Amino acid sequence: MTAKFEYKGYWYLPHQQDNAVAGILTYIPNEKLNLELIGNLGYTKDDIIEFFKQKRVNIIWGETSEAKKVTLLNCFSSGVSYHNDCSFPIINYSIQYCLVGYHHLEKFEEKVFNWCHVEMPTLTTWCFPGSIKKQLYRSTDKKSIDQLSVSFSSEEMKDPIVSVPINESTILNLMRDVKLHDEHYIFSFEQSTYLKIQKNQKTSTSEFLKDIYQFENFMSLATLSKLNASKIVLFDDTKLDNNKSYYPTELFYWLNNPESEPKNRHSFLFDYTQIKDLFNDIIIKWYNDTDQIIPIRRHLVQSLERNRIFSSVDFLIIIQAIDGFYCRFREDVRSLEKIMRDILKEFEDIKKVKELNINIDEVIDSRHYYSHFMNKSKKPKTLEGEALYILTQKLRIILICCVLKHSGFCNKDIDHIFCNSFHNIL
């Protein structure tokens, strides 16, 4: 996981380095991405009042004490401290995106990068890298170990575990990596799987973020837990270090909620080995599907986030997504009763769905009551409390079926996935 950092340096508006001011950039994962300036960006004391009116700055450039170039995008004023007798103010900005590397960006949409490296701890357990080989040599009496051999092939790691051309401009790769930790008398090896997204031409940061977001959502479905990238590094085609490597630019953003520890693979909906033969077709369809399915997938992923308190809103998120799925991809109807009967019939050959025993009248009354706050006497089958929570869990399984079916899995595949998953949702 990307650790917190603090960069001290000079900060200025693009191409106005003569007006640079000192400041500190602070990043704490899940908490803040903040710039504190000791002074203001190109404003004199006389027009500082005009500066206070300026709530947003598109881009701020910086140079750190470590000789790194920083581009800050979408900077919002979050606090100003100013005394009449002081010659400078203290100004704080909340930053949405931060890029740290070897050059500045002119704008968020600037096409400068060729590929990106994305880390997610759970990706390693979801798709086991298998990079490190070990072999034990036992003594003749087999009571002790004479030799332990550990090896890995650097050539093998150059080849992806799987490489999928998503479209004409994008290739998605699952790659292996091995890190050697040498601390005097302690040696350890760490293997991992990471995502590499390649473009056949220079591409903007925003386009890479869209691709990463799609993969995060896919992994959230596969693991039945909300996942986000823990590290994102963008590369252009400019080489450094005697042409042996490329200029890296690391991306941070305050809306990100990076995972810190890998999830337990025994609780996944499915892992890579289970869908290996289907993976190429599934991931291509996932990336190239129409915008019609995106809000439905987003509702499903949102429902996977663990909330301390269950409410009727959690129920509504699920039932609205099922309703939307049917109306967009089956029939455009208004009858929730027909929608539920048809959806349950569509998946009736899936063992887990057959066991759910969903009461359609309870679904209908609960939906109408919590959506429109009708008189409860008119919706006598409305559920609440634990009963509504259990119904929501059942409907989430139906929504998972809908998304999996639309993504290219057949009912037989879905049934196999459910039978081999130990997640508590199932």
Give tens-digit pLDDT for 73-128. Answer: 999 887 666 656 666 778 889 999 999 998 899 999 999 999 999 999 999 999 98
Give tens-digit pLDDT for 329-355. Answer: 999 888 999 999 999 999 999 999 999
Q: Could you tell me which residues come within 8 angstroms of residue 28 by beta carbon, excluding any fewer than 6 positions away?
A: 4
Euclidean distance between CA atoms 352 and 104, whole angstroms: 53
Rounded to two decimals, what is the model's pTM? Answer: 0.87
Kindly tell me if the per-residue pLDDT of 52 is higher than 70: no
DSSP of 338-350, one letter per residue?
HHHHHHHHHTTTS
pLDDT-derived band at 219 (thresholds 50, 70, 90) equals: very high
Mean pLDDT of the chain: 86
Task: Please say whether the beta carbons of 5 and 24 come within 8 A.
Answer: no
Number of H helices, E strands in the chain: 13, 14
Residue 375, burial from CB neighbour count under 10 angstroms (0-12, 13-18, 19+): exposed
Euclidean distance between CA atoms 253 and 257, whole angstroms: 9
Kindly tell me if the per-residue pLDDT of 254 is higher than 90: no
Euclidean distance between CA atoms 203 and 104, whole angstroms: 15
Structure tokens at 248: 């890296």
DSSP one-letter code for 122: H
Give tens-digit pLDDT for 145-170. Answer: 666 666 666 666 678 999 999 999 99
DSSP one-letter code for 337: H
Residue 135 has φ and ψ, to the nearest 5°, of -145, 135
Give tens-digit pLDDT for 170-217. Answer: 999 999 987 777 776 777 777 889 999 999 999 999 999 999 999 999
Instruction: Say which range, 233-237, 305-309, 405-409, has the weakest mean pLDDT.
Output: 305-309
Euclidean distance between CA atoms 372 and 378, whole angstroms: 12
Euclidean distance between CA atoms 275 and 327, whole angstroms: 29
Kindly tell me if the per-residue pLDDT of 68 is higher than 70: yes
Residue 245 confidence (pLDDT): 64
Residue 7 confidence (pLDDT): 94
Residue 425 confidence (pLDDT): 77
Taking Cα atoms as reference points, which of 170, 153, 171 lies closest to residue 162? 171
pLDDT-derived band at 60 (thresholds 50, 70, 90) equals: very high
Residue 150 confidence (pLDDT): 67
Residue 336 confidence (pLDDT): 94
Q: Which residue has the tokens 């606090």?
A: 79
Percentage of the residues of the chain whose pLDDT score is greater than 90:
55
The 3-state DSSP class for residue 109 equals coil
Q: Which residue has the tokens 């140079």?
A: 63
